[in-house]
C-alpha cells in the first residue's frame, strides 16, 4: 500500500539550522493546490507550477527538497529535486520514476526504489546528480544510521506449501549489484495467524540506533485490518513482535531519547473503535501500557518530549455498524506517560477537526480543517500551553496521507 505524504510540514530545526535560537522562524514545505511551496517565517514562496506534487522530503541539511511529480490517476511518479540555493527544480537523472525515496541521514545523497531496483545518487558540483545501482529484488528499505548501509527487505515468495519467509539484508551503499556484498541480516519466519506477513516496510531506527522498528504486512485485504509491529536489534540478533495495528507509518514512533515505542494499537480498518495509544518498552516488549481512556479512540501521535506524547483523540462510536462512516472529531491531547496525567491542548470549533500533530523543538503544529473539506490551515503553538496562531492557510490534504478520521 502507498501512503502519500502531501503535508510534510517542518524541517527538523529552526531556519534550516540546528543551532539557531528558539526565536528564529520555522521553515515548512507544504502542498497547496497540488503545487510545492515553502514558508519561512512570514514569507511564502511557490516552487512549482502546473504540476501534481506530493511527498516532499527535506534533505539532510535542508538545502534540497525531494518530491514526486505525479498525476491525478496515479500513473506517473517522477522524482524531482528542488535546490533552495540555486532556486530551481531538476531531475537527478534524465528520468527517475519512483514512489519510495529517502535522504541519507549524514549527507545530501538520495536513495530510491525503482520497481525493485535500489539506486543511490552520485554527487556533481555539490548536488545529487546521476545514480549508481545498489541492489535488485528490493521491496522496502531504509538507511542505517551510519549512512553507509541499507536495511533491505524482499517480499515473501508464494510456494505450493504457502507463503515463505521474509528475508532482510544488510547492504552497503557501494554494493553495485555485487552478490558478495549482499549480507543476510535476518529472516522473518512467518506463520498464520499470529505472525503472518508477506512483506516488511516502514523501517524506523531508535534514537540510539540499537533497534529498528517496522511493520510486517500481510496480503492486501488482510493488511487493511491488521499488520504486526516488530522490532529488530541493530545486529540482527534479537527479533520481537510488539502488537497489531493498522498500516499507517505515522502511527508508530520512537521516543526522542529512550528505547520506548509509541504506537496506535488495535485491529479493524474502521477508526470508530479499538484504537489505543500504547507504549512498549524495548527490549522488554511485554511491559506495555495503554493510555487511551475508555470511550475514546486515538488516531495519530507525536512525541513532544521524553515524557509527553501528543495524540489526536475523538470519542469512539461503537453504535455504528453500516452505512456512511461517521465523522470522528479529533482534537489534541497531551499524555504524560510518567505521571499518567492527560489534558486537552487544542480546541477546534464545531465542525472542525485537528489532525497531524508535528513537533519541532518547543513548537507544536496542527492541521485544522472543516468537515467535508480537504484543504485546511496550519496552526502553531509555542509549547503545549502556548497560544495557538494561524500560520499557513489553504494547505492540501489528500486521500492516502497520514490517516484522517472521516
Q: How many CA atoms lie within 13 A of 300 on its CB side?
A: 21
pLDDT of residue 13: 31
pLDDT band with cut points at 50, 70 and 90 for residue 25 = low
Mean pLDDT, residues 147-160:
96
Question: CB-based contacts of 180: which residues, under 8 Å, 6+ apart?
Answer: none
User: How many Å apart are CA 120 and CA 123, to the nearest integer?
Assistant: 10
C-alpha cell at 352: 472542525
Whether residue 16 has pLDDT greater than 50: no
Instruction: Give the phi and the psi of residue 250 in degrees, each rounded to 5.
Output: -85, 0
C-alpha cell at 70: 505525479
* Percent over 70 (pLDDT), the chain: 91
Mean pLDDT, residues 382-406:
70
195 upstream amide cis, omega within 30 of 0: no
193 upstream amide cis, omega within 30 of 0: yes
Whether residue 12 has pLDDT greater than 90: no
Mean pLDDT, residues 185-198:
91
User: How many Å apart are CA 183 and CA 170, to the nearest integer?
Assistant: 5
User: How many Å apart are CA 352 and CA 314, to the nearest integer?
Assistant: 12
pLDDT band with cut points at 50, 70 and 90 for residue 100 = very high
Q: What is the pTM of this model?
A: 0.91
Mean pLDDT, residues 171-192:
96
**Rg (Cα) of the chain, in Å, rounded?**
21
Whether residue 2 has pLDDT greater than 80: no
pLDDT band with cut points at 50, 70 and 90 for residue 211 = very high
User: How many Å apart are CA 132 and CA 293, to the nearest integer?
Assistant: 50
pLDDT of residue 286: 77
pLDDT digits (tens, 9 = 90+) for 314-343: 999 999 988 998 999 999 999 999 999 999
Burial of residue 96, with CB atoms counted within 10 A of its CB: 0-12 exposed, 13-18 middle, 19 or more buried = buried
pLDDT digits (tens, 9 = 90+) for 338-361: 999 999 999 999 999 999 999 988
Mean pLDDT, residues 93-116:
96
pLDDT band with cut points at 50, 70 and 90 for residue 287 = confident
pLDDT of residue 225: 95
Whose CA is closest to 96, among 137, 131, 139, 127? 131
Mean pLDDT, residues 265-269:
96
Average pLDDT across the chain, whole number: 90
C-alpha cell at 342: 492527560
pLDDT of residue 397: 63
pLDDT of residue 346: 97
Amino acid at each position: 500500500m502507498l501512503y502519500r505524504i502531501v503535508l510534510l510540514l517542518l524541517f527538523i530545526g529552526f531556519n534550516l539550522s540546528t543551532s539557531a535560537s528558539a526565536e528564529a522562524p520555522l521553515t515548512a514545505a507544504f502542498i497547496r493546490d497540488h503545487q510545492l511551496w515553502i514558508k519561512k517565517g512570514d514569507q511564502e514562496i511557490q516552487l512549482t507550477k502546473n504540476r501534481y506534487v506530493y511527498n516532499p522530503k527535506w534533505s539532510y541539511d535542508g538545502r534540497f527538497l525531494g518530491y514526486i511529480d505525479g498525476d491525478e490517476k496515479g500513473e506517473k511518479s517522477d522524482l524531482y529535486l528542488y535546490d533552495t540555493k540555486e532556486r530551481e527544480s531538476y531531475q537527478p537523472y534524465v528520468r527517475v520514476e519512483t514512489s519510495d525515496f529517502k535522504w541519507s541521514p549524514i549527507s545530501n545523497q538520495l536513495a530510491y526504489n525503482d520497481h525493485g531496483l535500489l539506486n543511490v545518487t552520485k554527487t556533481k558540483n555539490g548536488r545529487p546528480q546521476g545514480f549508481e545501482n545498489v541492489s535488485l529484488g528490493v521491496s522496502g528499505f531504509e538507511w542505517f544510521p551510519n549512512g553507509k548501509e541499507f536495511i533491505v527487505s524482499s517480499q515473501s515468495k508464494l510456494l505450493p506449501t504457502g507463503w515463505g519467509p521474509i528475508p532482510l539484508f544488510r547492504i552497503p551503499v557501494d554494493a553495485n549489484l555485487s552478490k558478495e556484498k549482499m549480507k543476510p541480516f535476518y529472516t522473518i519466519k512467518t506463520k498464520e495467524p499470529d505472525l503472518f506477513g508477506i512483506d516488511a516496510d516502514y523501517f524506523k531506527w531508535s534514537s540510539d540506533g540499537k533497534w529498528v522498528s517496522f511493520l510486517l504486512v500481510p496480503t492486501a485485504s488482510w493488511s487493511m485490518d491488521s499488520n504486526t509491529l516488530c522490532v529488530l536489534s541493530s545486529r540482527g540478533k534479537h527479533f520481537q513482535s510488539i502488537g497489531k495495528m493498522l498500516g499507517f507509518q505515522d502511527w508508530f514512533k520512537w521516543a526522542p531519547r529512550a528505547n520506548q515505542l509509541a504506537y496506535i494499537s488495535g485491529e479493524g480498518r474502521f477508526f470508530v473503535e479499538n484504537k489505543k495509544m500504547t507504549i512498549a518498552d524495548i527490549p522488554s516488549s511485554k511491559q506495555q501500557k495503554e493510555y487511551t481512556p475508555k470511550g475514546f479512540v486515538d488516531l495519530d501521535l507525536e512525541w513532544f518530549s521524553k515524557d509527553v506524547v501528543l495524540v489526536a483523540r475523538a470519542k469512539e462510536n461503537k453504535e455504528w455498524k453500516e452505512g456512511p462512516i461517521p465523522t470522528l472529531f479529533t482534537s489534541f491531547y497531551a499524555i504524560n506517560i510518567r505521571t499518567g496525567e492527560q489534558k486537552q491542548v487544542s480546541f477546534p470549533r464545531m465542525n472542525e477537526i485537528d489532525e497531524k500533530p508535528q513537533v519541532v523543538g518547543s513548537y507544536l503544529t496542527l492541521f485544522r480543517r472543516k468537515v467535508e473539506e480537504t484543504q485546511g490551515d496550519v496552526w502553531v503553538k509555542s509549547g503545549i500551553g502556548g497560544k495557538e496562531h494561524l500560520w499557513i492557510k489553504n494547505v492540501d490534504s489528500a486521500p492516502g496521507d497520514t490517516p484522517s478520521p472521516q
